[in-house]
């Protein structure tokens, strides 16, 4: 796919300072979605086009054990802190976790957590598939989730952030509402897809402890960055902030207290709409998307030809 085609899929360029003011429920200043990545790491990954596991074909015991710690121990510390701060989480879920760990499934479903699919395993890549393979993979995730919960998936984030130029089209085709694959904005934004409609929801890889804390950034420094991010977005208003977490990272005993203090700071501010991915998408589609489209159409009509 040529670059110009790829960018037309992402959608029109829109400076955030020229858009209509985005208003959240009850005039909240900020929409906050907290996204724990609940991941299933295969004991012996199946390598196709890309091999990040240097021990393959031998089992990656070190990588597997760290993620397994998250599901055995770290997850339970995380939700204890969530309960203390009344967090309504949106899981970035490898569906295999719900299939293989019914205790995790029951804990999340009893708390009515939202779920966006993070694929089946976090050791598989979307770019290992052709278009039909991607379509089948997405369908398998949706079917398995519905069988286990009786609910339909509303959101998507490709495993290992491995989206292809076709993924958004296929996620929209499957009937989902939003994707977290594009990290290009502080507000939801409509994507151009072949069929249906799809929103991009803000999700951060820049402040993401799955990346940062594994590369010599300590928990205190990470939390300082999150506080600075929150303060700025809260000041600007009409923004979305994501807080991406991983049980095998922040669920460690030497880090969990930092998360407790961080959530206490954020949640002490008035006007924070701590919500879920699907609620952000539904509110945006209902109340703001028509305004945004009208504004963008008016802006396009006043630009010089070729601008």
| For range 284-298, the mean pLDDT | 94
| Structural domains present in the chain | 28-302 (3.20.20.370)
What pLDDT sits at residue 4?
A: 46
Q: pLDDT averaged over the chain?
A: 89
Give pTM, 2 decimals: 0.90
Q: What is the pLDDT of residues 7-35, one digit of tens each?
A: 455 677 889 999 999 999 999 999 999 99
Q: Which residue has the higher pLDDT, 209 or 135?
A: 135
Q: For residues 259 and 261, what is the distance between their CA atoms, to the nearest angstrom?
A: 5
Q: Is the pLDDT of residue 179 over 60?
A: yes
Q: Is the pLDDT of residue 6 over 60?
A: no
3-state secondary structure labels for all residues of 52-102: CCCCCCCCCHHHHHHHHHHHHHHHHHHHHHHHHCCCCCEEEECHHHHHHCH
What pLDDT sits at residue 211?
A: 59
Judged by average pLDDT, the poorest of 100-104, 129-133, 151-155 is 129-133
Of 178, 195, 217, nearest to 92 (Cα)?
A: 178
Judged by average pLDDT, the poorest of 20-34, 150-164, 196-210 is 196-210
Q: For residues 53 and 35, what is the distance between their CA atoms, to the nearest angstrom?
A: 25
């Amino acid at each position: 796919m040529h670059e110009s085609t790829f960018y037309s899929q992402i959608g029109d360029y829109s400076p955030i300072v020229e858009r209509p003011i985005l208003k959240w429920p009850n005039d909240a200043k900020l929409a906050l979605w907290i996204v724990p990545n609940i991941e299933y790491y295969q004991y012996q990954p199946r390598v196709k086009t890309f091999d990040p596991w240097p021990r393959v074909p031998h089992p990656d015991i070190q990588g597997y054990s760290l993620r397994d710690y998250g599901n055995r121990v770290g997850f339970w510390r995380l939700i204890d802190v969530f309960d203390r701060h009344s967090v309504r989480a949106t899981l970035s879920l490898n569906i295999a976790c719900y299939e293989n760990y019914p205790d995790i499934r029951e804990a999340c479903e009893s708390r009515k957590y939202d779920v966006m699919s993070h694929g089946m395993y976090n050791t598989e890549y979307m770019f290992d598939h052709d278009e039909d393979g991607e379509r089948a993979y997405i369908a398998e995730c949706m079917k398995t989730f519905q069988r286990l919960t009786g609910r339909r998936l509303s959101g998507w984030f490709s495993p290992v952030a491995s989206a292809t130029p076709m993924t958004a089209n296929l996620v929209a085709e499957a009937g989902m509402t939003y994707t977290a694959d594009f990290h290009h904005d502080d507000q939801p934004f409509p994507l151009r897809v072949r069929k249906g409609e799809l929103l991009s929801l803000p999700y951060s890889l820049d402040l993401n402890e799955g990346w940062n804390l594994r590369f010599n950034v300590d928990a205190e420094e990470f939390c300082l960055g999150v506080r600075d991010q929150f303060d700025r977005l809260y000041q600007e208003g009409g923004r979305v902030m994501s807080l991406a977490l991983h049980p095998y990272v922040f669920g460690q005993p030497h880090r969990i207290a930092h998360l407790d203090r961080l959530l206490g700071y954020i949640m002490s501010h008035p006007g924070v709409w701590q919500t879920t991915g699907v609620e952000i998408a539904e509110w945006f589609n209902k109340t703001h998307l028509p305004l945004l489209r009208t504004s963008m159409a008016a802006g396009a009509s006043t630009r010089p030809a070729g601008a």
